[in-house]
Amino acid sequence: MRAARPVDVFVLGLGPAGARAAAAAAHRGLGVLAVDRKLEAGRPVQCAEFVPALIGIDVAQLAGSVRQGIRAMDTFVEDKAPDRTQPFPGQMIDRAAFDARLVDGARAAGAQCHFATRVRAIAPDGRVTLDDASCIAPRVLVGADGPRSLAGRAIGRANRELVETRQVTVALGRAHDATDVFLSSAIPGGYGWLFPKGDVANVGAGVERAHMGRLKAIVAQLHARLAAEGRVGREVLALTGGAIPVGGMVKPWGRLGDTLVLLAGDAAGLTNPVTGAGIASAVHSGALAGDAAAAFVGGDGAACLDYEDELEALFGASLARAVRRRRELAQSAADAAALRRGWIAYPEYWMGTDHLSPVSTGDKP
Ligand SMILES: Cc1cc2nc3c(=O)[nH]c(=O)nc-3n(C[C@H](O)[C@H](O)[C@H](O)COP(=O)(O)OP(=O)(O)OC[C@H]3O[C@@H](n4cnc5c(N)ncnc54)[C@H](O)[C@@H]3O)c2cc1C
């Protein structure tokens, strides 16, 4: 076996969570090595590209990636006319450009960022093996490697519940400034969407894994309906998809020998289980993970506990409510009333005798 290269912080994955973690840790003077198996940042895009307005306050890189503003959300329950939620401020971004800008930010802070580099294995002593068989021995390993996180599995913290998605990009017939959401018992465990992005739109759906076999037909049907209404073109310009964690937050840290492992973004299960929105929480948790890594390397052995507390304070209530609503809907007849109670646009979603209150993930209208 080759000698392992020591490094303060190794970041696995250069999506929004990893790029922000790398930037934060490098900014604090640590040696940071970050890798991603993709050939370039953000491509292929696996995202519907909507972010809530508030994300712009602390992510300067957003500015150059915005493709259009969003002012409202239109929710269609079965075949009923839509219910409009306004204001529902946000932006449609060019996700590939956004991710690339975040990586530029990490490099500018001093992090070494390498693409086309896959992590092959993570050993019980925390050593990381890359696909060229080289070996890294990090003080801190930040697992920002998405829903099926290798780092999460290495510490026994895998996302157990995933929704599968499929999305086509099509021409948009007429300008639109709302995100359209389609709720139906025929889309189990998820919803359909039309998100406008300038002269194109992302049209897709997510469903429980058990119904994956129907996903292609569900999206084709939604696309055909929207095309028949003259809202979008028939030609498919791009096709994507991917998994979304919907089980809520996993414990976001663990130890492998002397190495501290911190999970961020989708790897930590921070995507909202109802909306599927995870960019904002990836960005925020990534920065916090980078700060926690710096604190740990600086001698603060409790940095991982503080990190967990911060994530819980920021996202815990919102995720807990969404997990609960998802489960209620799954156990119901999924009639119109149940669909409304399971979606953020309706007051029923936010009601409850529990102690939970919405928090700043941007998912509350
Ligand atoms: C179809 C779809 C639509 C979505 N739409 C929205 C939306 O509109 N708004 C929103 O907020 N969220 C949306 N999401 C969710 C959002 O995309 C994620 O929450 C977000 O990307 C999480 O960021 P991340 O950095 O945690 O993970 P990711 O962006 O998944 O980044 C993880 C990175 O790790 C890399 N990686 C994984 N394993 C390895 C390995 N072994 N070696 C090297 N690299 C590795 C991957 O290549 C990837 O680049 C959507 C998701 C899907 C699938």
313-363 confidence digits (pLDDT tens): 999 999 999 999 999 999 999 999 999 999 999 999 999 845 554 433 333
What does the alpha-carbon distance between residue 76 and residue 180 come to, in Å, rounded to a whole number? Answer: 7
Alpha helices (H) along 46-164: 95-108, 150-154
- Say how many Å lie between the CA of residue 46 and the centre of ligand 1: 7
Does residue 269 have its Cβ closer than 6 Å to ligand 1? Answer: no
268 Cα nearest atom in ligand 1: 26
Question: In which band, very low, low, confident or very high, does the pLDDT at 208 lie, cut at 50, 70 and 90?
Answer: very high
**What pLDDT sits at residue 156?**
98
Residue with CA at minimum distance from ligand 1 atom 49: 15
Nearest to 195 by CA among 65, 73, 96: 73
- Say how many Å lie between the CA of residue 352 and the centre of ligand 1: 31
Residue 309, C-beta contacts closer than 8 angstroms, at least 6 positions apart: none
Does residue 74 have its Cβ closer than 6 Å to ligand 1? Answer: no
- Say how many Å lie between the CA of residue 249 and the centre of ligand 1: 15
Does residue 288 have its Cβ closer than 6 Å to ligand 1? Answer: no
* Prediction pTM value: 0.96
For residue 95 the two structure tokens come to 């996700």
56 pLDDT higher than 80: no
Does residue 26 have its Cβ closer than 6 Å to ligand 1? Answer: no
User: What's at 35, amino acid-wise?
Assistant: V
Residue with CA at minimum distance from ligand 1 atom 41: 119
Q: How many CA atoms lie within 13 A of 212 on its CB side?
A: 10
Nearest to 245 by CA among 190, 289, 178, 292: 190
Q: What are phi and psi of 120, to 5 degrees?
A: -90, -40
Does residue 119 have its Cβ closer than 6 Å to ligand 1? Answer: yes
- Residue 2 or residue 196, greater confidence: 196
Residue 72, C-beta contacts closer than 8 angstroms, at least 6 positions apart: 84, 85, 86, 87, 88, 177, 178, 179
- Say how many Å lie between the CA of residue 355 and the centre of ligand 1: 31
Does residue 278 have its Cβ closer than 6 Å to ligand 1? Answer: yes
- Say how many Å lie between the CA of residue 265 and the centre of ligand 1: 8
278 Cα nearest atom in ligand 1: 19
Q: Are 306 and 298 contacting, i.e. CB atoms less than 8 angstroms apart? A: no
Chain center to CA of 273: 10
b/e code 20-44 from CB counts within 10 Å (16+ = b): bbbbbbbbbebbbbbbbbbeebbee
Residue with CA at minimum distance from ligand 1 atom 30: 146
- Kindly state the average pLDDT of the residues 260-285: 98
Extended beta strands in 250-310, E state = 253-256, 259-263
